[in-house]
Amino acid sequence: MLNHNHSVTAVILALMVTFVCAVPQSVHAQTPPATTSPPDPLPSMVITRDMAIAIATPYIPEAVQQIGYFINSLAGNTLEGYVIVTFEIPSTVSKQELGWIEGPDTELENTGFLPLDTFNTLSFKIDGSTGVLLLKKAVDREPPPLIYLGPVPVERHNWWWLAVLIAALAVGLSAFLLARRKRLNGPVLR
């Protein structure tokens, strides 16, 4: 007689055998597709984050460099061969302070989060193999949404030591009172 574990194992094995046998044989007998020429190799990405920052920094006015920072990541698309480095400005910068003029390699995008011609994010799209600046872009970007991680944990004080102290005092007091009673009553004679 099978116990519960053996019957579960038997059911699982039966289902596995049924599934394997149900796969049509034509799936196993398919011929491989005709070979085609290999795809073009991916462009080599030789630009590092530090190199991208060095390429982008001259395009940021000195006064703006003093109030912002490059974020600690490098984005990009390896299939298209470019990298993007982003410069965040905690306050804001105006179009005049930035000194950029909109053109084929410069975009000034106002999404409506900040007043017109006011920006807080600069991004630089750089060719990943040659290091040529492809596009510089200033954006007024909304800060990332706050993520609710649940209630704030309440600091719990560990009061276990107080219970131990009270218990020790109770035992000590009981021992003291018992000793005192024996001393006052004198020895018990039987």
pLDDT at 153 over 90: no
Provide the whole-model pTM.
0.53
In a domain, 96, yes or no: yes
Distances in Å between the Cα of 119 and the Cα atoms of 38, 57, 140 are: 45, 17, 4
Indicate if the pLDDT at residue 27 is higher than 50: no
92 falls within a domain = yes
Would you say residue 109 lies in a domain? yes
- With a pLDDT cut of 70, the percent of the chain lying above it is 65
Q: Which two tokens stand for residue 169?
A: 């005092």
Question: Does the residue 98 lie in any domain?
Answer: yes
112's CB contacts (< 8 A; 6+ apart) are 140
Range of the domain at 66: 49-140
- Residue 74 resides in a domain: yes
Asked if the structure places residue 186 within a domain, the reply is no
pLDDT for residue 87:
92
pLDDT digits (tens, 9 = 90+) for 50-75: 888 999 999 999 999 999 889 877 77
List pLDDT tens digits, range 63-121.
Answer: 999 998 898 777 777 677 888 899 998 888 999 999 999 999 999 998 888 889 999 99
Question: Are 76 and 111 a contacting pair, CB within 8 Å?
Answer: no
**Would you say residue 2 has pLDDT above 50?**
no
Question: What percent of the chain shows pLDDT beyond 90?
Answer: 25
pLDDT at 113: 84
Number of domains in the chain: 1
Euclidean distance between CA atoms 14 and 6, whole angstroms: 12
Give the mean pLDDT of 37-58: 74
Which residues are within 8 A (CB) of 84 and not within 5 positions of it... i.e. 6 or more apart? 74, 75, 76, 123, 124, 125, 126
Residue 8 pLDDT greater than 60, yes or no: no
Residues 6+ apart with CB under 8 A from 102: 108
Determine, yes or no, domain membership for 62. yes
Please give the Cα distance from 134 to 141 (Å, whole number): 21
User: Among 127, 111, 129, 131, which residue's Cα sits nearest to residue 119?
Assistant: 111
Mean pLDDT of the chain: 76
